[in-house]
Amino acid sequence: MRGSSPRMTGKNRRSTPYITEMRPQDILMPVAAGLCCKPGGFHIDPVRPVERAVITHGHSDHARPGHGAVLATQETLDMMRLRYGDNFAGSTQAIAYGEQIKLGDVSIKFHPAGHVLGSAQIAVSCEGTCIVASGDYKDAPDPTCAPFEVVPCDVFITEATFGLPVFRHGNAADEIKKLLASVALFPERSHLVGAYSLGKAQRVIALIREAGYDAPIYLHGAMEKITRYYESRGVALGDLRMVKGMKKADLAGTITLAPPSATSDIWTRRFPDPVTAFASGWMRVRARARQRGVELPLVISDHADWDGLTATIDATGAGEVWVTHGQEDALVHWCTAKGLTARPLDLVGYGDEDESDPVPADEDTEA
Ligand SMILES: [Zn+2]
């Protein structure tokens, strides 16, 4: 906690020369493979194959195949299995939210990150110092996953995908209203919503259902497995059908979800006069929407916006903040101005899922 952790100050370190104290960077350190926990013998979200990986969530930049042992929530393990096949890791172990496990000299605990189904923040504790690696997270409500939990800690590791004051996502339900208004206005056209296949698509469907729309919603084939998986975990998504095999005329007046990359290729020719929408935090930037040929931008993000990032940092009480992937500078500056110790971690290999959701080659024409 800020101010209550004497080991965090240089003054205290100097006054107790005979006690070996763990500095945060002795517990977790950025290396080429990702965040390395030496005393625990593992890496968090490694971007290269390692012996023991602890993984925050199922997005492909965080959850990669080829590790020796993988520790993650059951949902994250299942998503990795769906994407990479049964042999995605040497061995796996599932951990529940709130469960504590000892690894080497550290203990770790998983807490909900509110990002996608099964996403977790990982609290790493060692000799009284607690570091929380939050992976990707959002503090906004999401009917498809457990809500974000504030975890008090000494060091908070935060993403910064939308780490600029210009990013304020607003209310996702209002964006869905825009979509449904457009569907009502153009009954002869189809609506094609680009949404990342894991998480965003299911959240958009759940939000559409919450808004009272109960007609069938159509899916690109690349989304079927993961969406059915969400349903198997108790996330109700209503009547879902595949686009494949549908007659063009029958898609008039309907809503279809597809990976963002599919909404700009020949796949869209099967739709009658499609209105192209895209659900992403980046849709706050008009130039991005124009660049992608998006007619109906929907500002819906699975990452915290500027207010979410700063409110969360405040709430953790952390005296030190490490900023990873995204727009690090402004957030580091904000922390420093508040008297917190802050630094960018310069981790390489993590991106924004909305910008990287390629359609598998075999799904491209088939779906
Ligand atoms: Zn993610």
State residue 6's pLDDT score: 41
CA of 140 to the centre of ligand 1 (A): 15
CA of 167 to the centre of ligand 1 (A): 18
CA of 64 to the centre of ligand 1 (A): 12
State residue 261's pLDDT score: 87
State residue 354's pLDDT score: 66
Protein residues with C-beta less than 5 angstroms from the ion ligand 1: 59, 136
State residue 162's pLDDT score: 93
Tokens of residue 52, six digits: 């023991």
For the whole model, what pTM was predicted? 0.91
State residue 366's pLDDT score: 38
CA of 115 to the centre of ligand 1 (A): 7
State residue 360's pLDDT score: 54
Provide the residue type at 2 as one letter: R
State residue 45's pLDDT score: 97
State residue 363's pLDDT score: 45
CA of 32 to the centre of ligand 1 (A): 19
Which of 311, 353, 357, 351 is CA-nearest to residue 327? 351
Strand partners, 323: 158, 344
∠ CA 43-46-48 to the nearest 5 degrees? 120
CA of 126 to the centre of ligand 1 (A): 27
State residue 316's pLDDT score: 98
State residue 17's pLDDT score: 47
Q: Residues 177-203, buried b or exposed e (16+ Cβ, 10 A)?
A: eebeebbeeeeebbbbbbbbbbbbbbb
CA of 185 to the centre of ligand 1 (A): 34
Strand partners, 37: 42
State residue 349's pLDDT score: 84
CA of 53 to the centre of ligand 1 (A): 16
H or E segment and range at residue 228: helix 224-232
Q: What is the per-residue pLDDT across 66-87, written as a single tens digit (0 to 9) for each?
A: 999 999 999 999 999 999 999 9
Q: Assess contact for 161 and 281: CB atoms under 8 A.
A: yes
CA of 42 to the centre of ligand 1 (A): 20
Which of 25, 10, 19, 17 is CA-nearest to residue 126? 25
Which regions of the chain are under pLDDT 50?
A: 1-17, 361-367
State residue 22's pLDDT score: 79
